[in-house]
Amino acid sequence: MSTLLVIAKAPVAGRVKTRLTSAFTPQQAADLALASLRDTLDAVLATPARRRLLVLDGEPGPWLPDGIGVVPQVAGGLDVRLAAAFAVADGPALLLGMDTPQVTPGLLAAGLDFTEADAWFGPADDGGFWALGLAEADPALLLGVPMSVAHTGEVQRQRLAEAGLAVRDLPELCDVDTPADAARVAAIAPRTHFAALHAELCAVAR
């Protein structure tokens, strides 16, 4: 059975979801980040896996549920940190971020099935990716991929294919980066912690 990895920042005001502060205060943006992380970890806990690890930039808090191990992120660019996260998994693993509170156990379970796949790729609608699964950790699959640009996903998927891997795709999801993203995801997944908090904050702002 495979490992589920969540790479995330601790939800500290001023350090997370700063692009949301055009519509929310830094603390509200951090609270939305925490709600998104809670929804993500709930989905992870509901998915059968060998191990579940949070690869964290910062310190864990009382928000961390039982059943999730914590390892610190290494220093370096995102490509370096992702490669290091897969190395920690020590076997087949699916990695996702904290920006898709709409993710479901069904999606995660699909990306943990390496029976007919060497890699899984979950595209994000901003040109990046929300999930990446590898049957075997190989830093060369990630190092040097330009991160947080409009063609990140295209380059990453091409890197997998050029390595001769059998790549399968997960559905495209919307990452929560901007206020418009937040509204869209809250509407898509109305029963999440994220949607409930988003509705509360928007009602206060009116």
**Residue 32's pLDDT is what?**
98
3-state secondary structure the chain: CCEEEEEEECCCCCCCCHHHHHCCCHHHHHHHHHHHHHHHHHHHHCCCCCEEEEEEECCCCCCCCCCCEEEECCCCCHHHHHHHHHHHHCCCEEEECCCCCCCCHHHHHHHCCCCCCCEEEEEECCCCEEEEEECCCCHHHCCCCCCCCCCHHHHHHHHHHHCCCCEEECCCECCCCCHHHHHHHHHHCCCCHHHHHHHHHHHHHC
pTM comes to 0.96
What's the mean per-residue pLDDT of the chain? 96
**Residue 3's pLDDT is what?**
97
Lateral strand order in the sheet of 119-123: 69-72, 51-57, 3-9, 93-96, 129-134, 119-123, 167-169
Residues near 200 by beta carbon (within 8 Å), at least 6 away in sequence: none
pLDDT at position 31 over 70: yes
Strand partners, 8: 56
| Rounded Cα distance, 110 and 107, in Å | 5
**Residue 1's pLDDT is what?**
73
Q: Are strands 129-134 and 93-96 parallel, antiparallel or unpaired?
A: antiparallel
pLDDT, tens digit, for every residue of 34-66? 999 999 999 999 999 999 999 999 999 999 999
**Residue in the structure block whose two tokens are 């898709």:** 100
Percent of the chain surpassing pLDDT 90? 97
Extents of the domains making up the chain: 3-205
Domain 3-205 has CATH 3.90.550.10: yes
**Residue 167's pLDDT is what?**
98
